Amino acid sequence: MLNDRDEDVINTLRQIRDRVEDLIVLLEGIPATKQKHSFYKNCYQPKDGLTRAFRWFYLNRTSYSGIMRPENCYWGYGRKYSMCPENWPPHLRTVSDRLQGVELTALDFEVIIDSLPDGCFAFVDPPYYDADQQKFYNCTFDEADHDRLADCLRRNSSRIPFLLTYDDHPEVRQKYEWVSEVHNRAWNYTINRTDDQRNGVKLKDGFRGSRDKGRELFIRNYDV
C-alpha cells in the first residue's frame, strides 16, 4: 500500500499503474522547454484523470527539484542533470510494473496507520516540521498534525514497526523521545545548476546559488 494526502500524486500513480501506455502516448514528442512548462502550469486544463496525470508528470519532471506547489513550481530542467523526455517511457513502464497489485490511497494518515494489520512495517515520511519547508508541499502539516502523528505512532508502536523520517528539529526530537532509535544524517545540497528565477538571475550572469547543510532524522521503534 502507498498513501499520500495529495490526490494529484495518487492520481498520477494510479494512471501510471493502470494506463501507462496511454500516458506515454500523451507525452510522446513533447520537448522539455521553459515555454511548455509555462503553458502546462498556467494555461492547460486537464479534462480527466489521465490528462491530470500527464500535466502533473510533465511539470514534475521539468520543475526545479520536482516542486509542485504552484507558487514555487519553477522551470528547472537541465539536460545534464534531469531525465530527458526520451527516457520517460521506459521509466514509466518500470514504475508501472512495480505498482502492479499496490493499493493506492489518499487518506488521512491516522486512518491508514490505525487500520494496518499487526506486524505490518510502515515507512512514514511527513512534511518537514520546519515551517520554511512547507512551501514545498501542496498538503502541509500544522502543529496539531505533527502532534497527531506522534500520538498515532505511539499508540500503535507495540504492534507496528515503523521507520519515520523528519528534518532534525529540537521539537521533533522531543515529540519522539519515547522512541528507542533516533539517528541523524547530514548532506550538502546546492542550487547552482539552475537559474534564480525569483530574482531573475541566470547562470550565464555568474549566478552560482547557495550551498547549505541539510540534516534529517531517522526514527525507528525496532532494533536492527
According to CATH, the superfamily of the domain at 108-220 is Vaccinia Virus protein VP39 (3.40.50.150)
What confidence tens digit (pLDDT) does each residue in 91-122 have? Answer: 999 999 999 999 999 999 999 999 999 999 99
CATH of 2-99, one of 1.20.210.10, 3.20.20.70, 2.40.37.10, 1.10.1020.10: 1.10.1020.10
What confidence tens digit (pLDDT) does each residue in 166-198 have? Answer: 999 999 999 999 998 888 876 655 444 445 555
What is the model's pTM? 0.85
- Domain spans of the chain? 2-99, 108-220
Q: Could you tell me the three cell numbers for 126?
A: 511527513
